[in-house]
Structure 1
Amino acid sequence: MEDGTCKGIPSIDLCFTDSTGRRFHGADYDYYSANLVDDRGKPVQQPYHVEYVSDGRGGTLPVGFVHATTKLMSEEQMSYTPAGFDFLDEADTINKYAAILRKQGVRAIVTGHWHALVNCMLPDPAGNARPVVEAANHGRLFNEINLQLDPRTGEVLRDRTTSVNHVNTRDVAPDPSTLRIAEYWRQQLVLRGNTVATRVTAPLTRSVGDSAESTMYNAAADAFLWAANKDGKADLAVAMPGVLRRDISYAADPANPADAPGRVLFSELALGTVYGSGIGVGLVRGNVSGAKLDELLESQWQRAADGTETYRQLAVSDNVRYTYDPTRPVGDRIAAGSIRIDRKPVKATATYRIATLANNFFAKNATPGFTALFGATKQDRSAYNGGDALWRYLEKKSPMSPPTLGRAQPLS
């Protein structure tokens, strides 16, 4: 939803009706962020806003609020944003706009994101105490800060500042309108979950421990390439081992009358199948050399410090083929010159654009041992996350047949 207009953009605009049956017009509140900037360094949202409170004498006093987003946002797999935006240092940015508003430091600091329980007084640069609070997570606590202002100057009276974290005792009668909205969406979830997302002609399955090529992982790699090319460009895609949480069954669930043989329901595909789906690990594209592609494929075999060797299959999209020799040393098993994309040999010094889930482009949440994509250049993020890509691809291919195996072939 952009400016109240339905655009129909995947993962951005759902164009849905609200619990009253009216077309959802967008949020009824404003978004702020002082330190989220575009590639020119300009704020993307308004950095601050001002509220006016009574001075007790019939007039008002201005109170400024400076808003910041954690600069670690772009380092999280759900919100990894490699291009187009940047996050400035929170403290520097807050101080900048606090100076604009008040020509002095911040009076209270309210934090979030970390799920921490914080309520304390810390000195500001002038030695004056100010509250720093965070009220845990998921509605466990409610924080109440009381700041009293001098009606003559508008200054905070520090000795009268109080901050209390209140426990959510859950003994207050629920708000009827909120209950109605929650119940409406619970019912919608059931209805949506029982809609048909796609149909399959046979099961799509994983191998035990991702120890071999599988139809389910091949389908995921194909889906990632399809989605990456819907709003950008990629030469190939990969699905890392461990990113798929379940198979897609051909058999009907006997406990669900909405199911039938070959029918794949929304609840069986769109949520919980791909790692992080439902929240959304984004699909990211980046440029790597042919040598890095070789390194990525070699990462399927890993040797631990104690000498034990493990193999975890990495799925490649259907336009990729390669051969390997399992008898050669770890790190040198991909047959020289065997990697092909669209039937063309991969050149070590050439550049190729690869797509996969965002977490594999940086160290924090990457699949262990698969580091070849960390230095990928010209990264950008698709509008699709992994779960959306698989769902929409299988929807388009319905009825979906299991992809053929043999994209990776051992030397005989």
Structure 2
Amino acid sequence: MPAMSQPSRDRRRRRTYRVLAAAGALVTVGALAAALPATASAGEGHGKPGGHKPSRYQDVQLLSFNDLHGNLEPPSGSSGRVTELQADGTTKTIDAGGVEYLATHLREARKGNPYSITAAGGDMVGASPLISGLFHDEPTIEALNKLDLDVTSVGNHEFDEGAKELARLQNGGCHPTAGCYTDKRFEGADFPYLAANVLDQKTGKPILKPYWVWKKKDVKVGFIGVTLEGTPGIVSADGVKGLTFKDEVETINKYAKVLQKQGVKSIVALIHEGGLPSSGSYNYDCDSPGAGAGVSGPIVDIAKNITPSVDALVTGHTHTAYVCTIPDPSGKPRMVTSAASFGRLYTDTTLTYDRRTGDIARTAVTSANHVVTRDVPKATDLTELISRWNTLAAPIGNRAIGYISADIPNTGTESPMGDLIADAQLAHGKSLDAGTDLALMNPGGVRAGLTYAAKGAEGDGVVTYAEGFTVQPFANTVNLQDFTGAQVVQALKEQVSGVNASAPKILQVSSGLTYTLDLTKTGADRVVADSVKLNGAAIDPSATYRVATNSFLAGGGDGFTTLGQGTNDLVGSDDLAALEQYLTANSSATSPIAPPAADRITIVQ
């Protein structure tokens, strides 16, 4: 496969498209039925050029991905691998990801497909590695433009820096405080961000376009884009200030009617909410033994209630891979897909457009996830982009901040990386107030582990600032607050109850705090109250404890309402600074930090 520069095909820039509204789509593996309708004919209608009259049916290629999170360079460690299920039932891992390779794969896939759309399911930016995050994700938007992305839904991470910053990424302009990073004005996204269910509280209207229509000749496909209704619970309060997030199903059904009134009957929903497949393999058949039987989670109920007029769902958020057919409200199968995360997979879906009805022949829809392997030539224009931004980031990113003796992974209910961060925040808390007792860290705020093998020229075991930034990219502050012992126990119970009952969020805990998590029980009872101890002594319900958390948890984020009720607040440095201080103080080239044992939570299964 030859290396390809920016393709000469239509650039799909917003100035050259007729934007009727906004929305992005995706579909993946799993066939509703492999055969075309019996009346379908060959010829131009199926991508084969010819001078004759177009056939009734036209295959439209939909390429999609989700949850890129600014991963322009190949992700390292487990974040840069996918698992493939083999015919004999065994699995193998494949190194995957990196936009230089993603561009090559997408460009090759588009060859011979004049009717091709590229869509995404949100979280293109946010929680990004240093090369993008340091520059407020301008590099990722530039990369997505080069990837010829046509449309995307917003995700929750598009709101990490608030609605005004999201609008800047869409429309362009220099950052209001950081200014311009180069001598060229940032142009913004060539593609529309869709936010149908995100309303301005003052106007009651969507903050960005709710839908968008792709057109080529006589073929029209509409896209509706939404993020999860629960976004305010997983984003900092400042990021969603002044915004209202509406129900996903109600919003999609509303705009499907709007599109139909405009004569657009082929509709794809881009939904930044997802499911949990029964297998971690990207090519697992989640339609076995029945339609959608192998996937669970929020997307199942959403899919079952979205109007049948929507033909396919492209989803995200859970960073998992699946291609399933989940029945719509009329009982007919409908494609629902997700392409994992970090640009490791892309989905190639065939939507068969019926020119007579203007709708998708859903019995002919096919889809599959494909690995973004690294055995293809790099796209030279993306290599140049990465090199340019790395040159600007290098003076900051290459600085050594610590040393480790082995990989410190971010895996498991209690992860070694989570424990290390909690220990760092406890140490930072003690530097502010010697009476600090413990630290709690939300698992979603730990974005990666640390790898022993050198990524660049720094040497094995060296932790660079760029690597630390990848682990802790949110710029949350470390906050100290007072809680009673009863509140500490209640916060631990909120890991597995309330909004977290069906999908537990297990806090990472600092050294000295121990307890038992009994997964054979249900709800809050899974946290064994009398097992909660600090330095070997039982937590006293009436005593006061000084607790370090990040500002996200201190605001009650992730459903931890009790952690939003602390008193005697003291705000420290940002969380990355706390991690850097801890690594610098506790490691050296001759005495590196070993991975924590991750044995503070005793799990009963």
- Give the direction of change, closer, same or farther, for the CA distance of 1:174–1:329 in structure 2 (3 Å limit): closer
Amino acid at match of 2:439: P
One-letter code aligned to 1:330: D
Whether the aligned pair in 2 keeps the contact of 1:107 and 1:156 (CA below 8 Å) is yes
Contact kept, 8 Å, 1:141 with 1:167, in 2: the verdict is yes
CA distance in 1, matches of 2:368, 2:426: 55
Task: State the partner residue of 2:374.
Answer: 170
The answer to whether the Cα contact below 8 Å between 2:485 and 2:542 also exists between their aligned partners in 1 is no
Residue number in structure 2 paired with 1:116: 320
Equivalent of 1:15 in 167, 180, 187 = 180
Q: 2:472 aligns with which of 257, 261, 277?
A: 277
Q: Does 2:284 correspond to 1:89?
A: no
Could you tell me which runs of 5 or more consecutive residues in structure 1 were left unpaired when the two chains were aligned: 55-59, 198-207, 222-237, 246-254, 257-265, 286-291, 313-325, 340-354, 377-381, 392-412
Q: CA deviation at 1:162?
A: 1.7
Counterpart residue number, 2:190: 28
The C-alpha deviation readout for 1:178-203, integer Å capped at 9, x for no partner, is 11112233333321236899xxxxxx
Q: Secondary structure at the match of 1:67?
A: strand
* Structure (1/2) with the larger helix percentage: 2
1:33 and 1:43 in contact (8 A); partners too = yes
The root-mean-square deviation of aligned C-alpha atoms, in Å, is 5.2
Say whether the 8 Å CA contact 2:478–2:575 is kept in structure 1.
Answer: no
Identity of aligned residues (%): 28
2:207 equivalent in structure 1: 44
Superposition map of 1:5-404 within 5 A: 5-9=173-177, 15-17=180-182, 22-40=184-202, 41-54=204-217, 60-76=218-234, 81=239, 83-102=241-260, 105-193=309-397, 216-217=428-429, 241=439, 272=468, 277-278=472-473, 280=474, 282=476, 295=484, 299=488, 310-311=533-534, 330-333=540-543, 357-362=551-556, 364=558, 372-374=562-564, 386-387=574-575
Q: Equivalent residue of 2:193, what SS?
A: coil
CA shift, 1:63, in A, is 1.5
Whole-Å separation in 1 of the counterparts to 2:357 and 2:475:
49
Q: Based on CA coordinates, which of the two structures has the bigger radius of gyration?
A: 1
> Matched residue of 2:335: which SS?
strand
Distance 2:421 2:232 in 1: 31
Residue identity in the other structure for 1:272: G
Corresponding letter in the other structure for 1:277: Q
The separation in 2 between residues aligned to 1:310 and 1:122, in whole angstroms, is 45
Question: How many Å separate the matches in 1 of 2:422 and 2:371?
Answer: 45
Alignment partners' CA distance in 1, 2:422 and 2:311:
53
1:27-74, Cα deviation, whole Å (9 max, x unpaired):
3332211111233443111110111123xxxxx232110001122332
**How many residues matched?**
293
CA contact (8 A) 2:233 2:557 kept: no
Question: 1:389 deviation in Å?
Answer: 8.5
Q: Which amino acid aligns with 1:43?
A: P
Give the stretch that moved more between structures: 142-151 or 182-191. Answer: 182-191
CA distance in 1 between partners of 2:422 and 2:320 (Å): 36
The separation in 2 between residues aligned to 1:387 and 1:303, in whole angstroms, is 23
Specify the alignment match of 1:262 in structure 2. none
State the distance in 1 between where 2:539 and 2:575 align.
36
Contact 1:271 / 1:387 at 8 angstroms: preserved in 2?
no
Structure 2 CA distance for aligned equivalents of residues 161 and 209 of structure 1: 46
Give TM-score, length-normalised by structure 2. Answer: 0.39
SS, match of residue 216 in structure 1: helix
- When residues 177 and 214 of structure 1 are mapped into structure 2, their CA distance, relative to the original with a 3 A threshold, is closer
- Which amino acid counterpart does residue 551 of structure 2 have in structure 1? L
- Tell me which residue corresponds to 1:398: none
Aligned residue in 1 for 2:113: none
Q: How far off is 1:161 after superposition?
A: 1.8
Q: Take 1:116 and 1:50, find their aligned partners in 2: how far apart are those partners?
A: 27
* Whole-angstrom CA distance in 1 between matches of 2:325 and 2:551: 41
1:187-221 Cα deviation digits (max 9, x unpaired) = 33321236899xxxxxxxxxx9989x988326678
Q: Distance in 2 between matches of 1:209 and 1:180?
A: 34
Instruction: Output the CA distance in 1 between the equivalents of 2:421 and 2:365.
Output: 57
Q: Distance in 2 between matches of 1:114 and 1:298?
A: 30
Match of 1:233 in 2: none
Contact 1:79 1:282 in 2 (8 A): no
- Once the two structures are TM-superposed, the CA of residue 359 in structure 1 deviates from its matched residue by 2.0
2-side partners of 1:36 and 1:363: how far apart? 19
TM-score normalised per structure 1:
0.54
Higher mean displacement: 72-81 or 28-37: 72-81
For 2:239 and 2:219, how far apart are their aligned partners in 1? Answer: 39
1:149–1:194: structure 2 CA closer, same or farther, 3 Å change rule?
A: closer
